[in-house]
Amino acid sequence: MTDDTATERAVGATGHCDERFAAVRTAFERNFLERDELGAALTVTVGGERVVDLWGGWADGARTRPWQRNTVVNVWSTTKGPTALCAHLLIDRGLLDPDAPVAAYWPEFAAAGKESVRVRELLSHRAGLAGLREPHSLEQLYDWELTTSRLAATEPWWEPGTRSGYHVLTYGFLVGEVVRRVTGLLPGEFLRREVTGPLGIDFTIGLPEEEAARAAELVPPPAVPDSEQAAMIARFAPVAVAALANPPTVAADAVTPAWRAAELPAVNGHGTARAVAALYGIYAGHGRLGAHRVLSAETVERIREGQGAGQDLVLGAGLGHDTEIALGLWLSGPNGSYGPNPRAFGHDGFGGSFGLADPEAGIAIGYVMNRMGPHIADDPRKLALIEAVYEAVEAR
């Protein structure tokens, strides 16, 4: 038995990996051996060709269910990329103007001094609505009409357009309600009808009950002692506390029937690594996925227009460096969060998942997992995989 075979059996890795990308397979396996991976899948496409398609490990914490080719998992904020795609489809079709006031589509939104907030400020987390000011329970979060009506009525935390502050949960309701006002459809249904259904992409916002049996169990990161948690929260400004903890959401919520049945377009997308790579591959392919034109190349260029770099008002204390959000996704920037191309872009999900698009290199990556790490972004597993992909591409 070779060392490679022994490693494969140890981590249960299976699937396809081009010989040119053997180092990517090695990085994927090392995540199991060195970074406490439990179950995961990775898909990489280059120029539309699927060069890596691996999965392995376990779909549950008890290690009774092997991760399968069609295992889906809640990808948390990696969902924001497909939700942004819904808005950009409407922009591409001339049905939504990124520079128009949100109130032109959602009149109630003009309350509390928000009459001039533009659609682009919703997309770029610059609307000042990173969290609600009044207490909002998880059960209330599942109520679309209640949550959107409260957002429409609330006052911004800062002057819209001047700074970015990550809209952790509210992003999906804000962008999603604009999509609903234009199309009459919630973003999950719009995405299904316009993209994932026609293209056969295994990704849903929420999860139909009949699909629950193939969903991986999320395993939370190690618990933080109460004293450390209190000290950590004390570092955050009130807006950050509102964004991150009103209501608090934890891994255990994301495996409940109520969470899966809800429309939470910022955080409860479920899919495979193939699906994430396909959705972000639309961006990487300048609007094309295989033979299908989904967006115009001009719209893809607009998506990655930076809206101003700086320390994020919500995540800044945790990240420790400046970031820049474009129209719905994060730019790689000088930090290299999505590879060496500063104009590559993508989105991380709570715990470690991510989608990446690099139109210059033609690279798209989808990575999903179920053992959640403690990092806000740039999980070490993610960074190891991205580094290996770009090294393999440069060596071709």
Q: Which residues belong to the active site?
A: 77
Beta carbons of 132 and 151 less than 8 angstroms apart: yes
Residue 341 burial (CB count, 10 A)? 17
Q: If you ran DSSP here, which 8-state letter would residue 63 be given?
A: S
Q: Is residue 35 within 8 Å of 369, Cβ to Cβ? A: no
Considering all CA atoms of the chain, what is the largest pairwise distance in Å, rounded to the nearest integer?
69
Could you report how far apart the first and last alpha carbons of the chain are, in Å? 29
Residue with tokens 């990550």: 166
Sign of the Cα pseudo-torsion (261, 218, 264, 343, in order): negative
Strand (E) positions, 241-353? 269-271, 288-289, 292-293, 330-331, 345-348
Distance of CA 269 to the CA centre of its chain: 8
306, exposed or middle or buried, with CB in 10 Å at 0-12, 13-18, 19+? middle
Give me 335's structure tokens.
Answer: 């930090």
For residues 393 and 323, what is the distance between their CA atoms, to the nearest angstrom? 26
Running DSSP on this structure, what letter comes out for residue 362?
T
Residue 190: CB partners within 8 Å, gap ≥ 6?
86, 89, 179, 183
350-367 residues labelled b (16+ CB within 10 A) or e (exposed): bbbbbbbbbbebbbbbbb
Tokens of 167: 């809209």
